[in-house]
A = this chain, B = another copy of it.
Amino acid sequence: MAGKKIIITGVPGVGKTTVITQAMESLSEAGVPYQNINFGSFMFEVACAEGLAQDRDQMRRLDRTIQKRLQKLAAEKIAAIDGNVIIDTHASVKTPAGYLAGLPEWVLTALMPDTIVLVETDDDQILLRRLSDTSRVRDMEGAASIREHQQMNRSFAAAYAMLTGCTVAFVTNADHLLEHGVKALVTILK
């Protein structure tokens, strides 16, 4: 379908939502509107519409095969949207069994994104942001663990780009330099 499909990712606490919101405002003013879709929420809506789940907990307990079908279906629906779309998701998710690809093969081939953006910053900045954010309960992890997560996300992104031909862009959201991150994202999305 016409319009760009841009995946935007970032580890928890990097400030991804803030960067996206401000970039969308700037793009809207510049006459390049984007709609923002949270992949997890969108998948949940699809699950509800298909009668597969009534709440998030149910969705997490779905059989692996059904989960995959649901992910693929959600990706197909997003790919079919006419217009520019930001897909807000994770390059990888930390689980008790290890890193889980946010964009496995069956999602990528259905979505065929133009670009995957990794919003990043120094691991110690992310650590401090997490510590000072009392609004969310997050599993605590040290700076080394955050660095590992960000490095793995780059490897995941390279694999995603090999499969789809999308570009991989890094946007830095450093302390006191939010406007630089927003500007970098706007440049990519234009």
Contact = CB atoms under 8 A, between A and B. Distances in A.
Contacts of A114: 97
Interface in A139-190: 148, 151-152, 154-165, 167-170, 187-188
Nearest to A94: B167
A92 B169 CA distance: 12
Interface in A75-125: 92, 95-101, 103-106, 108, 114-117
A60 interface: no
B169 A98 contact: yes
Given A105-B162, A159-B162, A162-B160, A100 B154 contact: no
A69 interface: no
The winner among A155, A162, A163, A167 for most chain B CB atoms within 10 A is A162
A97 B169 contact: yes
Nearest to A156: B158
Contacts of A98: 115-117, 167-170, 188
Nearest to A152: B158
A138 interface: no
A68 interface: yes
A152 B105 CA distance: 20
Question: What 4 pairs across the A-B complex have the smallest Cβ distances?
Answer: A98-B169, A155-B158, A98-B167, A159-B162
Given A98-B168, A101-B165, A152-B168, 8 more contacts: A100-B165, A104-B164, A104-B165, A105-B163, A105-B165, A156-B162, A158-B159, A162-B163
